[in-house]
Amino acid sequence: MALSDAFALPPAWVSDAVVYQVFPDRFRRAEVTPIASQQRQVAGLQWQPWGSDPMLQGFQGGDLWGVIESLDHLQGLGVTCLYLTPIFASAANHRYHAYDYLKVDPLLGGDQAFDALLAELHRRGMRLILDGVFNHCGRGFWAFHHLLENGITSPYRDWFHIHHWPMHPYPRAGESCGYSCWWNDPALPKFNHAHPPVQDFLLQVGRHWLERGIDGWRLDVPDEVPSGFWISFRRMVRSVNPEAWIVGEIWGDAVPWLQGDQFDGVMNYRLGWSSLCWAAAGRLSEAYNNPQYPLEPLDADALLAIWTATQDSCRPEVNTAQLNLLDSHDVPRALHTLKGDAAALRLALLLLILQPGAPCIYYGTEAGLQGGEEPGCREAMPWGQPWPHDLCSAIQAFLQLRRRFPILRQGGLCWHPQGRDGLIGLAPGLAVALNRSRQRVLTLDSQLVRQGSDATLDCELLIGAAGPSPLTLSPQSAVLLSQGRGGSGCSD
């Protein structure tokens, strides 16, 4: 293979990956790690009570030691890769306001906890993706702080887009802050990427953490950064680790970033919201005001049109490198969108896991968390408490299915509408059928099913209750039909 071809291809491991997204401050506060306990005692840290209202500012104390303590749970679900929202030193609980890109936030356990987490992940054969915020920084970032202290005489004045002096980092009502910032938020000054030292610094940050051993980057708001920077970024990444995964946060049409010179894949929000909108069967929560995450009822034809357009716009190898998700720290939780209907969530999760690309489970999905719009979706994981819904067994079963049939990871299912409320995905020797209706039994088209299954049907119930025959589906259920594999028919 030519070097240029290798440069353009995504890492092969991604198509087999199962990702779990962690929002560190709210995931787990370490309980038994001696080093973590000692650090808290020395620092005299005080946290908000665990489970406090996520709408409040402040810190609940989740840390990387807590992530380490949870790895048995995550690996038991079938997770093979962690995606952590930002972990660099910051004065915000979400840490998208970085002030030091080369240090892990001490509140998360610092570099010592990071090294321990990375070592334990790799010992288990798991991988780690970090969140790169290279469009903007926090007001405490050293170059911006220097600018605030020295004004126009600062050597760093060209690192940012300054509109007037003096700047007002904490402007009063009606007052301009005097510099470009992300979405007009003075807490997030925007880098001047046309200034070569800025590019050099950010590339140094990317290189530093790759050399520390991470397995890839998720890139925040990359559509607001010049594409030339991302071309340089990809060259740097491939030079350090040719197997590192580069994922961009692009919500809409991602084609310009997926030509082999910038990203391997993107956060596939289109797949997420469309799957939820179909599984909901018309029962969605109040409208979410985001045109790039439209939550409106979809029938099967509309759903498949979205899936087809999304996949047809990319090369097959790119489709297997997408980060597929139903929800995240930026949108309402899937169960909130589905008005608390756990059966509908199971259907949506199954759809997610049956697609090419890496499925991503947002932390707390397995516990039935259902926070609303951000920051409500960033609630604390309820360790040691009763869970609203325990979806662990469903997630485990779906991921086992994905491992059992490699064709599911490579985009082998061909999807067809089935009546008003059904979907059938077909591949040689295999059919998966879903019924989203809450009341109606769905009778499958036997001729269509046998096009995929080819031979005597074995029936394996995936969701819900068994129908009266292998070719019927009870409300809110799903079934796997395959060539003779020693099964004994449908069972609950």
Task: Identify whether 220 is a catalytic site residue.
Answer: yes
Question: What percentage of the chain reaches a pLDDT higher than 90?
Answer: 84
**Structure tokens that stand for 411 in this block:** 């985009």
Q: What is the pLDDT of residue 40?
A: 58
Pairing of strands 245-248, 216-219: parallel
Burial, 243: exposed, middle or buried (Cβ in 10 Å; 0-12, 13-18, 19+)?
Answer: middle
Q: What is the pLDDT of residues 341-366, one digit of tens each?
A: 999 999 999 999 999 999 999 999 99
| pLDDT above 80 for 319 | yes
Residue 35 has pLDDT above 90, yes or no: no
Q: Please, what's the largest Cα pairwise distance for the chain?
A: 80
Q: What is the CATH number of the domain that holds 443?
A: 2.60.40
Instruction: Please indicate, yes or no, whether residues 320 and 430 belong to a single structural domain of this protein.
Output: no
Is 429 among the domain residues? yes
pLDDT at position 167, please? 97
Q: Is residue 350 part of a domain?
A: yes
Distances (CA, A) of 359 to 27, 348, 421: 19, 12, 24
- The answer to whether residues 398 and 260 belong to one domain is yes
Q: Which two tokens stand for residue 335?
A: 């169960």
Last residue of a domain, one of 379, 408, 437: 408
Task: State which residues form the domain around 372.
Answer: 3-135+191-408
Residue 185 bears catalytic tag: no
CATH of the domain at 350: 3.20.20.80
Q: Is 264 domain-assigned?
A: yes
> What share of the chain has pLDDT > 70, as a percent?
93
From 364, 379, 408, give the residue that closes a domain: 408
Return d(Cα 64, Cα 270) in angstroms, integer. Answer: 31
- Return d(Cα 107, Cα 442) in angstroms, integer: 52
Residue 129 resides in a domain: yes
Given the residues 105, 220, 327, 366, select the one marked as catalytic.
220
Q: Which residue has the tokens 């990319």?
A: 314
pLDDT for position 2:
41
Which residue is catalytic, options 25, 105, 215, 249?
A: 249
With cut-offs at 50, 70 and 90, classify the pLDDT of residue 36. Answer: low
Residue 423: inside a domain = yes
DSSP string, 274-323: HHHHHHTTT---SPPS-TTS------HHHHHHHHHHHHHTS-HHHHTT-E
Nearest Cα to Cα of residue 367 among 26, 18, 25, 33: 26
Tell me which DSSP letter residue 29 carries: -
Structural domains counted in the chain: 2
